[in-house]
């Protein structure tokens, strides 16, 4: 079966995020107040062929740990949608 996968990769809490800090600093001058704690990460969408949802999740978890994230500084949040 083919499952749709969304992987959200975010920097771990405590890791400096210059891109997010730059956005946050710029927004008040652009007319947007009240926006705080901006963190910028990556999102990846793809489909994976697997026998069942557990197998799909195991494959995606390994993919994240080995290639899609740097586990030292990044966390991955995996969402798998049934076909």
Which spans of this chain sit near a second copy (rule: CB under 8 A)?
Answer: 6, 8-10, 20, 23-24, 26-27, 30, 32-50, 59, 63, 66-68
Which is nearer to a second copy, 46 or 72 (by Cβ)?
Answer: 46
Cα separation, 48 vs 1, in Å, equals 8
Distances in whole angstroms, Cα of residue 73 to Cα of each of 1, 17, 32, 83:
33, 11, 29, 32
Least spacing, CB of residue 32 vs a second copy, in Å: 6
Least spacing, CB of residue 77 vs a second copy, in Å? 9
């Amino acid at each position: 079966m083919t499952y749709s996968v969304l992987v959200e990769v975010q920097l771990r809490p405590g890791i400096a995020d210059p891109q997010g800090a730059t956005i946050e600093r710029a927004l008040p001058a652009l007319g947007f107040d009240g926006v705080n704690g901006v963190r910028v990460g990556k999102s990846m969408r793809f489909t994976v062929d697997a026998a069942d949802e557990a197998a799909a999740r195991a494959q995606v978890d390994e993919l994240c740990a080995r290639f899609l994230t740097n586990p030292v500084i990044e966390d991955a949040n995996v969402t798998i949608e049934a076909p």
